[in-house]
Amino acid sequence: MRIYTCEDYAAMSRRAADILAAQIILKPDCVLGLATGSTPVGAYAQLAAWHREGVLSFAQVRSVNLDEYRGLSGGHPQSYRHFMQKHLFRLVDIDPQNTHIPDGQAADPAVECARYDAVIRALGGVDLQLLGLGHNGHIGFNEPGRAFEKTTHRVKLGESTIRANARFFASMDEVPKEAVTMGIKSIMQAKKILLIASGEDKREIMEKALFGPVTPDVPASILQLHPDLTVVEACGLPE
C-alpha cells in the first residue's frame, strides 16, 4: 500500500488526477473503474482541464462505474449516469459507447447484474479502479456486514448512506432505497486500486479501513489485501 498524504482537497484531487492520467498515458485503451460522490469531482475537473488544453485524450478509454441507484433513469439529475455526464464524460472525448454504468431501471436486477459482470469480463477487467470511502466504510454501495465475495449485485442501502445522500435530494424520502453495485469481489479483481478521501470527518473510518482488522464490518478494510493499492488522502491521517 502506498499512501500519499495531501494538505487539502485541491492537492488530493491533483494527485489523484495525476495517477488517473498516468494510467491513460501508459495504456490509452485502459479500462477505468470510476466512482461518483463528492470526493472525485476535483480530480475529474482536473482531467477535463487537461483534455481542454489538448494534453490528455480519452478517445480509446473504456470506463465502468461502480454503481447506480435502482429506479432512477439515466436522465434523472441524481442518477450516477447524469453525474458522470456532467462531471466528466461530456467534458472529454470519451466515446459514449465505451462508458458503462449499471442500468438502474432494468426490470430484472439479477439479469442486469449478470449483464454488468459480463461487460467487465468482456473488457478484460478493470485496469485502475477509483474509489471513494463512505463514513461507514462502504466502497461502491457495499455496506458493512455483507459478505466480501460478491460480484455485481442489488443492495438495500443502509440508513447512514441514505442520510448521507439525502443532501442531493429534496428530502430523505426521495433518496432511492436500493442500488446496483459492483461487489467487493469485482473491486478486488481490479489490477490497481486508487482510494481517495478528504476531510476530518473521514479520518476515523480511513484509519479503521487502512490499519484496523480486515472485516466485513468495515468493507474498505479488505483493500489492505490488494497487491496494488494507492491511497491519496487529505483527512489529516498522522504521518
**Of positions 23, 58, 67, 195, contacts ligand F6R by CB under 6 A:** 67
**Of positions 132, 137, 144, 219, contacts ligand F6R by CB under 6 A:** 132
Question: Rounded to whole angstroms, how far apart are CA atoms 216 and 144?
Answer: 6
140 φ/ψ sector (left φ>0, alpha ψ -120 to 50, else beta):
left
In the region spanning residues 11 to 50, those forming contacts with ligand F6R, defined by CB under 6 A, are: 35-39
**Of positions 81, 138, 153, 192, contacts ligand F6R by CB under 6 A:** 138
Q: Are 10 and 236 contacting, i.e. CB atoms less than 8 angstroms apart? A: no
Radius of gyration of the chain (CA): 17
Question: Rounded to whole angstroms, how far apart are CA atoms 157 and 119?
Answer: 24
Q: How far is the CB of 164 from ligand F6R (least distance, A)?
A: 7
**CA 198, chain centre distance (Å):** 14
Task: State yes or no: is 143 an active-site residue.
Answer: yes
Under the criterion CB under 6 A, does residue 226 sit at the interface with ligand F6R? Answer: no
Query: Based on CB atoms, which residue is closest to ligand F6R, 39 or 221?
Result: 39
Task: State yes or no: is 165 an active-site residue.
Answer: no
Which residues are at the interface with ligand F6R (CB under 6 A)? Answer: 35-39, 66-67, 132-134, 138-141
> Which residues are catalytically annotated?
67, 136, 138, 143
